[in-house]
Structure 1
């Protein structure tokens, strides 16, 4: 046998001794066989197997085969890990794999297996398994059935892949999309300016559905913050905790703590909570975990938004931020409703003031018309009669004209006294009070502060008109004998006070 120079070869050399039945060994036959190709092939196969196992480990993919006749299961190490984690004692029997299936998926997975063996099922399947440590994993499997000539299944083989992270990412994206959709829906509802109660009720429904929690509620704080009132709720609450029922909020209790918290209050295990005294109502409803978020207000917190689960649960940062976003949106809706209410009140007040202004203008016009008709009409008539008489008394006519001029001057001063423009408010008030009180036979006292800086014309006019109207009412209706007028500076404004010793009236009845 020749071997090329520089090459290496492996030889098997079986040896056989030739023995004579009578005489000792007389010779030996040696046979050499070149097994280089076989050794290289075995080495390549070993390397390929190692690469396959490494690829399975990196890709979280395993292979398996089940002999339907013997029930023997052959697994790769990674396939065993997909079902049992680091437990190496399981995986030799088919029953081990069925026991690892999630209880909610087991019946459905076995039914799908039967359909596959019967020839009318899909080779692909996705299901959950529970490891010995209690963690849940999602498996995607693909199987192939091998049949004999008669079509009877004899063995099944396939691959499995751990898709837990992918499923979590998909679920996270879906939850995020649902949260964004819920925020958008609530924003549109709030922007329409409808009922605030409708916004509350829709908020708790979306919160419970999006977070998949058993209970959600909105509580409004009482003015003294001694308790919280149910404004809206979602979930199965007992009858005594309906809309309008009150939750006490004494110091150190959960409601008290949540109302004053600067950030969301996340509860991992309510019965074991140590930051505050757990809420008896939530414990009564079997709540274990939850989130409470204070709803901001203009001067103090409006209340609390809560989402609670009857299962132990760790809420993600996105879920906490979602509840916080809903609370801030509610705060905006509440403030918008309050501003709209204030705007409506201001509009009504403005309309009332406008009506009063028109009525005052009409009253002033009626008074002027009455003065012109009663006083000037009679004076002019008397002057006319004097002028048409042949023996007219010129002195009487002149006296009538002088009286008319004086009355005209008084009327003009009542409408807009020149002193108000020339000397300012204090001098005008002093002149007017003295004139009217003297005419009415009243004792009077005037206490007017000196101004370092003269008020604006509009302020002076408003004060003068108020004093004018008040003094007129005293003279006409109070049956008073004395009147006192005080004007002083009060901060950035003026304080005008008019008092009399008259009979007065019932303020409540007048309103």
Structure 2
């Protein structure tokens, strides 16, 4: 072992010698003291030997540490508590490009740049204060500012636990950092590519049974990376149940046969249903064992939906072509091949699997009379390099001649050379028939307008064109042959007021108002005055923009004269009806009074006679008494019938007690006679009503209750008589079947019509509707003072 100057130390332990010769005859105390001294000397000798052994081991460890520090590839250094370097190995010399002799005993601020030294000394201070290791990265720690170093510094303790310095290790991690950065950049680019392509990657470890998924797969599933379950079953749970058996079978087939895996299915993700395409291959060990399944999963929802929409669109197009009898075709000039749509095949009555379209085969379907024009139009289109449109007849397989409208569009190469044609063929047989029928109909319409004295006119709001039919010209006294005429020629025969009226109505109609419907008076050129009825409406396009005005005019002069005569006749009949009602009421009152006076007196006399006869004949015989009792009963019945007849003609109560008491009395009589519950709600004081109004109210009550008894099947009736403002109202409501379910109880029946006529004459009204009890309600309203009526 070398000492501090490099000399080999004596490794032999020291041996203690006795202090002198033992004296014989020593006392026992002396011998004991000597033994203790010998034991102490032996123990001291052992400790010295152990010290030398420890020293030797320490020197060996120091040599080994020096060897490690010198040979290690990382830079190793040791500093004292003042941050002066004590050890600085060869790797540190290379890293910092400075020799150990220049470093030992000096601080960093005397060796390196100010910024690098500041960082080093700050780290030293952190270790000293915390008495704990620290690790940090630093760029350009000393010389090369482009290098990155990973440095670990830790406190250095002696055997007593006292901190005596700092030991540090620095490693150049520039290449590793560059690799990590390149890997991170590649990972980011891959993640971006996966995100753009909506394609994630996955890996199924067949040994561990776990599944790794890329960030894009996690995003697709809508689950954060740290929360996702790594088992295969967890991924299967995202697949729609119907597709799970198919996916499992495909994976099993891939593991068994090694063939590539490729499946499409729906996923149930946190963001909704997504359609994906998954592909995978087996990754094997060198011995051929299957280790992993590595694959991708691509979100193709948009493509799937687009494909579905395309198929739906193609199906809808085929269906639309079938419904509209609208086919399509394409012709390749070089090969001569012709492609037809499904509707084109149907139009010609052939099936795709039994007929191959060609130009020669197509000519066979063209009607012989139209073959030459069609061929000429086709060839002319090719020669002139232009499109063509032509109508012609075809003869399908079923032999029924059809009319078609064909449009061909020329397809050209980049140099302008015709290479083919695409076009449509439209079955216009029905349209042709409709056009022929329309022409015949227009002719018949013109004849009908002439007979019915009706004309028509039209204004095109886009180009201002006007059309006036021959019928309209004749109505306004114009000669159709001298035309054409415009609407201003017709307006010239109208009065200024009518022109303003028709202009205002037309403007409102164009702005979205109601259709024009006016009667106008015209002074024709021949001097005749006529009444015309004009009706018009606006024709709008698909966007609601007005494009035309369509109207008709009809000469209604004679009809208006007939209507005025008929209205006058109705007025006279109504006056006659009202007069008859007055006469009838007067006659009823007179008859009621005469019957009451004459027959009432007779019945009273008979009552007195029977009473007298009773006193005279009572003792005579029982038979006579029985006959007298029968006479009494017949007289009572006759009196009751007389009262009923008189009340039916015109109740005396109406004259003497007023309408309220009469209504109450009649409701009671109605309930007794029909067994229908009848409640009346009357004013507390008698109403002051003119006799005509009182009679009208009573007759309305009679008619309403009669209808209830005959038709309503009601169980109760509620009658209200009340004064409301200047009017008197009678309200009769039942709980019967109502108007819609009551045969014979029509609002225009004779009884209801009589009520309406009677009340209308007095300035009132009758309203029938559904009542609060669920049946029918009749509401009669009369003015209190009807003097003016």
Give TM-score, length-normalised by structure 1.
Answer: 0.34
Higher RCO (C-alpha under 8 Å, 6+ residues apart): 1
Query: In terms of Rg, which structure is larger?
Result: 2
